[in-house]
Amino acid sequence: MKAGFVSLIGKPNAGKSTLTNTLVGEKVSIVSWKPQTTRNKILGIVNGEDYQLVIVDTPGVHKAKNALSKYMMKSVEVGQEGVEVIVYVMAMDKKLDDSDMEYIRKYADGKTPFVIALNKCDEAQPSAIPERIVRLKDIAGVDSIIPISALTGKNVDMLKDRLLALMPEGERFFDEDMYTDKSMRFMVCEIVREKALRNLDEEIPYGIGVTVNKYSYRNNGILDIDADIVCEKQSHKAMVIGKGGAMIKKISTQSRQDIEDMVGGKVFLNLYVRVKEDWRESDFLLNQLGYNIKELKD
Ligand SMILES: Nc1nc2c(ncn2[C@@H]2O[C@H](COP(=O)(O)OP(=O)(O)OP(=O)(O)O)[C@@H](O)[C@H]2O)c(=O)[nH]1
Ligand SMILES: [Mg+2]
């Protein structure tokens, strides 16, 4: 039996959450084309007959501008602690730059095996892949470089095999039927946030947080969920609601469909939009929205 933790680290939008979902085979972590989609450290558990890989998906590394991004960067740091392997996810649609080298040197420190996953190879020029490998292969502390497509699944098995080869012998950390450490309530918040990210323009979704206030089953098996979409300004609230309520309806319908798939039953979802000014700067409000920096440190 092999078991251990693998953290995924990389810039925003590199495809870490997509890779987590592909490895796990379930939707554990939300995905969007907007950078800084993931805000928490999220575990995705890959179970096999004789192994358990625990994938630690983390927020994309960026310079912290507010209390929320400080929380996110702390999650990245905590996410690297005690793992057996670090995978640096680098997307082929972005040039290799100094900040990549900086992150690689920081984490490929020779203490923890360090694998580079070159992602989005499905969209890369075929010649670009060997060129990138040549530039990375002699960096000290790099165990292997594996070109993949997290989206199509190409070579993800090869990456998984390498990760398993690097895992120590050991017992499972989680029950075999678990695929994440997160609660259903957390997943509901994330699904609603994903739909907001995907449907709303530009800056507004970055200032959105979601809380679930009610999550209960009726006798007939229907799941009732009340959730708040919290935004930073009155003008944002108007955009989240949309003309004649069209936007909130769209977010609600898409969210409900995903939640129904997740729980395997009928869901009544009520979404409310509230304004909490500058919540991303307030430790108190961050805490209310589930971003508790103290909990991370424990
Ligand atoms: N073409 C292509 N697109 C991909 C691939 N992997 C991810 N994407 C897309 O890239 C975008 C970002 O993917 P995410 O998985 O959310 O990226 P992330 O690294 O988790 O981003 P943050 O959470 O913001 O740090 C989404 O639009 C994905 O569909 C891939 O292998 N090929
Ligand atoms: Mg992500």
CATH code assigned at 242: 3.30.300.20
The residue from 108, 133, 166 where one domain ends is 166
Cα separation, 133 vs 261, in Å, equals 39
Q: Identify whether the C-beta of residue 222 lies closer than 8 Å to the C-beta of residue 268.
A: yes
Within a domain: residue 282? yes
User: What confidence score (pLDDT) does residue 133 get?
Assistant: 96
Q: How far is the CA of 14 from the centre of ligand 2 (A)?
A: 8
User: What confidence score (pLDDT) does residue 297 get?
Assistant: 67
Q: How far is the CA of 219 from the centre of ligand 2 (A)?
A: 36
| Count: domains in the chain | 2
Are both 191 and 75 inside the same structural domain? no
How confident is the prediction along the chain (298 residues), in pLDDT tens digits per residue? 999 999 999 999 999 999 999 999 999 999 999 999 999 999 999 999 999 999 999 999 999 889 999 999 999 999 999 999 999 999 999 999 999 999 999 999 889 999 999 999 999 999 999 999 999 988 999 999 999 999 999 999 999 999 999 999 999 999 999 999 999 999 999 999 999 999 998 778 889 999 999 999 999 999 999 999 999 999 999 999 999 999 999 999 999 999 999 999 999 999 999 999 999 999 999 999 999 888 886 5
- The response to whether residue 20 sits with its C-beta less than 6 Å from ligand 1 reads no
Nearest CA-CA partner of 194 in 248, 251, 241, 250 = 251
Are both 70 and 23 inside the same structural domain? yes
- The response to whether residue 150 sits with its C-beta less than 6 Å from ligand 1 reads yes
Largest CA distance in the chain: 62
Side chain identity at residue 282, one-letter code: S
Atom of ligand 1 nearest to the CA of 36: 24
Cα separation, 124 vs 91, in Å, equals 9
Cα separation, 94 vs 151, in Å, equals 16
Element (H, E) at 48: strand 42-48
**Exposure of 140 in the CB half-sphere (CA atoms within 13 A):** 5
CA distances for 214 relative to 211, 258, 291, angstroms: 9, 18, 19
Within a domain: residue 172? no
- The response to whether residue 43 sits with its C-beta less than 6 Å from ligand 1 reads no
Are both 100 and 241 inside the same structural domain? no
Residue span of the structural domain in which 214 resides: 184-297
Strands 42-48 and 51-57: antiparallel
Nearest CA-CA partner of 115 in 73, 152, 164, 74 = 164
The residue from 102, 131, 166 where one domain ends is 166
Are both 210 and 110 inside the same structural domain? no
DSSP annotation of 207: G
Are both 133 and 198 inside the same structural domain? no
Are both 106 and 51 inside the same structural domain? yes
Are both 9 and 105 inside the same structural domain? yes
Q: How far is the CA of 2 from the centre of ligand 1 (A)?
A: 28
Cα separation, 214 vs 160, in Å, equals 38
Are both 197 and 66 inside the same structural domain? no
Which of 9, 18, 194 best tests ligand 1's pocket when mutated (most atoms within 8 Å of CB)? 18
Reading the block at residue 7, the tokens are: 């953290």
Cα separation, 240 vs 192, in Å, equals 12
**Whole-prediction pTM:** 0.96
Write the CATH number for 69.
3.40.50.300
The residue from 166, 192, 221 where one domain ends is 166
Within a domain: residue 179? no
Are both 16 and 144 inside the same structural domain? yes
- The response to whether residue 13 sits with its C-beta less than 6 Å from ligand 1 reads yes
